Amino acid sequence: MATQLSVNLNAVAMLRNRRDLPWPSVVDLGRIALASGAHGLTVHPRPDQRHTRFSDLPELRALIDDEFPKAEFNIEGYPNSQFLDLVEENAPEQVTLVPDDPSQPTSDHGWNFVEHAEFLTPIVKRLKASGMRVSLFADPDPAGLDAARATGADRVELYTGPYGASHQDSGQAAKELERLAKTAEAAIALGLDVNAGHDLTVANLKPLVGRIPAIAEVSIGHGLTADALEYGMAETVRRFLRSCKG
């Protein structure tokens, strides 16, 4: 089965938030993405609401429930009490837990699973008890994946930032791709499914999926939104879906 595409709407929300106006509409562009074949939508509601607002969540939940019942909602963030309340109120199919400091501009590293296992385990249990799939943000390093599995999580999401950052250095990109592949293989051997995300583009997604065809889902926001300014959201989603086939 082809790798599934979840469209991250944070960059759309950030553009909207530049003005006290309701456009571009996060819901409307989410609708276009799903109608064009995206498997789901992703948001990262940070505490300062600098892009996705808390008020966006019930509207996106309703969009999926009312118009695209086979699609999935993925909410990612640092699991403080406010975040956990948000996800329980909006019941996403998947929750992706990231170790972000609230001041970070974007996610830029995975969990230290050994160090944070005691913190993560009851949170994973709580979310799964509510019927949500749980994915943990992971660096491209097999070390500690057994501790990630022991938390009860269903998946890890491979942080592909270093791979994306090597877009002008094919040799480095190849090295980063192998790091990702070895981590994915180790995760799968432990019984974890694998997602991936960060700085993925049409160009680098195809070799990623070609090398790691077992990737269940990619979550893509910045590069996809940038392309949508040129090609439109519908055509951009179709372009990324073609790359998802490896």
Q: Note if 109 is an active site residue.
A: no
User: Helix or strand or coil: residue 203?
Assistant: helix
Handedness of CA 49, 89, 77, 63 (dihedral sign): negative
DSSP state at residue 214: T
Tokens of 244: 């998802």
- Closest of 47, 42, 45, 44 to residue 6, by C-alpha: 42
Q: Please tell me the distance from the alpha carbon of residue 125 to that of residue 31, in angstroms, as a whole number.
A: 32
- Distance between CA atoms of 235 and 233, rounded to whole angstroms? 6
C-alpha–C-alpha distance, residues 76 and 81, integer Å: 14
The residues facing 159 across adjacent strands are: 197
Q: What's the CA dihedral at 147, 150, 154, 159 to 10 degrees?
A: -10
Angle at 21 (CA atoms; ends 19, 24), nearest 5 degrees: 90
The residue annotated as part of the active site, out of 39, 44, 51, 116, is: 44
39 catalytic? Reply is: no
Set 39, 51, 116, 198: catalytic member: 198
Marked catalytic residue, from 76, 157, 176, 217: 76
Q: Which residue is associated with the tokens 């990612």?
A: 76
For residue 43, the cross-strand partners are 75
> For this structure, is 76 an active site residue?
yes
* Residue numbers annotated as active site: 44, 76, 198
